[in-house]
Structure 1
Amino acid sequence: MKSLGVFRGSVAIAGVGVAGLGDASGYTETEILAQAAVRAVADAGLTMQDIDGLATCSSSATMWAMPVTEYLGLRPRFIESTMLGGSSFLAHLLPSILALESGQCNAVLVCYGSTQRSATFGRKEGVKARMLLDPQPFEQPYSPIAPITSYALAAARHMHEYGTTRSQLAEIAVAARQWAQLNPEAIMREPLSIEDVINARMVSDPLSTRDCCLVTDGAGAYVLVRSDRARTLKRKPVYVLGSATAVWNRQISSMADLTTTAAVESGQRALAMAGVNLADIDVVQLYDAFTINTLLFLEDLGFCKKGEGGAFVENGAIAPGGRLPVNTNGGGLSCLHPGMYGIFLLIEAVRQLRGDCDLRQVDGAELALVHGNGGTLSSQSTAILGTEATL
């Protein structure tokens, strides 16, 4: 069996696009998805007629790839619609790479859209509908506040086991806000202090409203092509050096350890495929649906030891000017969070590696680690992206 390392850098992201960020009132999720898709394809210097591969999914429809195909007028030879929650659009990377490298298709469009904030059938109704399609028999009988109860449980356990403090979790929200203040696309840009986070309304102990992600609309898309083609196109290619996905559980009550996620596995495999070390990484994008996510993923991916995440993020370590740039667009905590956020992590990483981020640009960024999470610490997907200099 061939090592996945043979696919290192064989495929590149040639274009990205977003639409409907924040509040997309008056538009459906399909419409803003199409807007983002058209922008991503144009950004790559291609046309929709060039797209012969499609990767998409939605929490609001079980057969989402079919209406998207129809609406965009595509006739894809490759279709990927695996639904793993917020990590899905990172998990779609490796199947797309294999499809491109096998010659099954030549250009894959990965896209997502959600109007969970503005739609009449909104977030609360969506959660109820998903519970019917995605039963969690060990938890639903107790009527948890989905999904925050699960993340609060993980946070409480980490605090109990390792002495992590509310102030340390608040550092994560404050750092995200400081990055958001440099990003004109971010929804929340007002000043935020550690005290503001701690004193905000408690939602599920120990997490307050400012420990929780935003509820927004938004659509994102990116285009993948083989690297030799990417070099002839409009924009600076960003190469996919490594990609891996791991799932250990669905319900958080089925986790062997509430403080350790499958990011341990996905991170190691992605780094091995890429042939790089964490010390080489210039910028990090982590799925921060809640402050505890960022802390757990920093530990599980190996940026610090288990239990040391709280100390690692203190004193602005992951904020602008800190030692490790994390969630440079403001993340799900302050930029946007339209249901499934993973695609926006990758888009921000691409922008950083292209040098397109203006005030929030990380100087000399050549390697990015992107990590997505789905469900309740259930699915984990890690990608390593690099510039031409990293090949």
Structure 2
Amino acid sequence: MTAYITGVGYSEYTRRPDADLTTSSILAQAGAEAIAEAGLTPGDIDGFGVASFTLRPDHAIDQAWRMGLSVKWLMDDANGGASAGSMLQHAVHAIDAGTARNILLVAGDLMAGDAFRSLVAEYNSATAHHLTPLPMSGPNALFAMLTQRQMEECGLRSEDYGRIAIAQREWAGLNPRAVYQEPLTMEQYLTAPVVADPLRRFDCVPPVSGGEAIVVSANPDGRAAVRVLSTRSSFNYDDQEGSGTATGVAEIATECWAEADIEPRDVGIVSVYDDYPAMVVAQLIDLGFVEKNHSVSDFISDRIASRSLPVNTSGGQLSAGQAGAAGGMHGLAETATQLLGRAGARQVEARYGVVTGYGMVLYRYGACATTTILEAVR
């Protein structure tokens, strides 16, 4: 692969957006910052991709026009937490084919008022027809059942999930963009209101408004950049017939490691999609970070809680917030920022990073997954 991430941009995450904020302005702000960081101008961008739930009725072409972009490659992706990885995969192919040289990928949403309630009630026909009438608002109950299964399979307790949430909050305390930065204690975690047993308040992502963007280029032109070593996607991994405790990452991880020619032990930063702590565990297992026959609880204590393995160094969505479809871009933007050496107080030493995307709850859990392996080029 010959594609590089040359710029990262952000639009501020907020729980209470200003009245004049729009989805279009969120995407434009993040995109403009990414273009500037890449050392480019809008005229240099010849490819554009968008992931958003609330941009409608507009599409990628409308947003490109509003941002003054004239491009040769265009993409809309509505696959939620897997959207950024999926767009990146297509962008890399476009660059390899010579279709474009500098592709801007943006993701974001305005989650204000009824936007979030409408999204979770009518996410797709399966949700609208089978879950909302129960009533079952959002995916919390589904992932509560998945968490129960994982607890039984892996011998985990609530405290184990609490250690993940607390560790990510510690990272968030170093991230000025995180919505929740104050320390979280185990007592606070365990005594928080139960949302859907065994999920408590701090197990569930807070919806926010905001966005992120990256520029994917054919050549870094001598600037600091992040090389895309491998990126793959998996859709309908088990046709919704499995337990959900293994994701589509399990299907593509081995191919990604082989293509990148590295192993999990070589990685210095990990960003896994964290709509719930159970999904952090599931994807780390699928990626091969937890060795077979090794205690998952011990892994959480020894590697995640200690932060010796940097996992979700932005604070993840659990502390930074979930900005709709930007949730899929969140980990990719953070890992690229880290590998570019621009993470400030939370900066880690890493040459390689791995990012996963996960999402689009079809009937019981996510049907889409992506895995991307990146390398710092300085």
Same-fold status (TM-score > 0.5): yes
Q: 2 CA distance for matches of 1:141 and 1:270?
A: 40
Aligned to 1:57: 51
Classify the secondary structure of the residue corresponding to 1:56.
strand
Aligned to 1:297: 283
1:121, CA displacement in angstroms? 3.5
1:200, CA displacement in angstroms? 0.5
Mean CA deviation greater in 142-151 or 236-245: 142-151
Q: 1 CA distance for matches of 2:250 and 2:132?
A: 27
Q: 2 CA distance for matches of 1:268 and 1:15?
A: 28
Contact 2:233 2:371 in 1 (8 A): yes
Matched, 1:333 2:318: yes
AA paired with 1:330?
A: G
1:136, CA displacement in angstroms? 6.9
AA paired with 1:208?
A: R
Among residues 261, 266, 278, which one is paired with 2:264 in the alignment?
278
Among residues 186, 198, 214, which one is paired with 2:178 in the alignment?
186
Q: How many residues align?
A: 369
Among residues 79, 86, 91, which one is paired with 2:81 in the alignment?
86
1:224, CA displacement in angstroms? 0.6
Among residues 108, 113, 119, which one is paired with 2:108 in the alignment?
113
Q: Deviations over 1:242-294 (max 9, x none)?
A: 1011122598xx23123111110132222222111111111101111111111
Give 5+ residue unaligned stretches, structure 2.
none
Aligned to 1:104: 99
1:130, CA displacement in angstroms? 2.5
Give the 3 Å change call, closer, same or farther, for CA 112–358 of structure 1 in structure 2.
same
AA paired with 1:236?
A: A
Aligned to 1:4: none
Aligned to 2:65: 70
Percent identical pairs in the alignment equals 31
1:20, CA displacement in angstroms? 2.7
1:59, CA displacement in angstroms? 2.0
Classify the secondary structure of the residue corresponding to 1:122.
helix
1:82, CA displacement in angstroms? 2.9
TM-score, normalization: structure 2? 0.92
Matched, 1:130 2:120: no
Aligned to 1:255: 241
Aligned to 1:201: 193
Give 5+ residue unaligned stretches, structure 1.
1-6
Aligned to 2:156: 164
Matched, 1:359 2:345: yes
Q: Deviations over 1:337-379 (max 9, x none)?
A: 111312121111111112112221112x100001111123321
1:150, CA displacement in angstroms? 1.6
Among residues 307, 311, 317, which one is paired with 2:298 in the alignment?
311
Q: 2 CA distance for matches of 1:168 and 1:261?
A: 20
AA paired with 1:329?
A: S
Contact 2:121 2:127 in 1 (8 A): no
TM-score, normalization: structure 1? 0.89
Q: Deviations over 1:28-55 (max 9, x none)?
A: 0110110110110011111111111111
1:306, CA displacement in angstroms? 6.5
1:189, CA displacement in angstroms? 1.2
Among residues 21, 24, 29, which one is paired with 1:27 in the alignment?
21
Among residues 326, 339, 342, which one is paired with 2:328 in the alignment?
342
| TM-align CA RMSD | 2.0
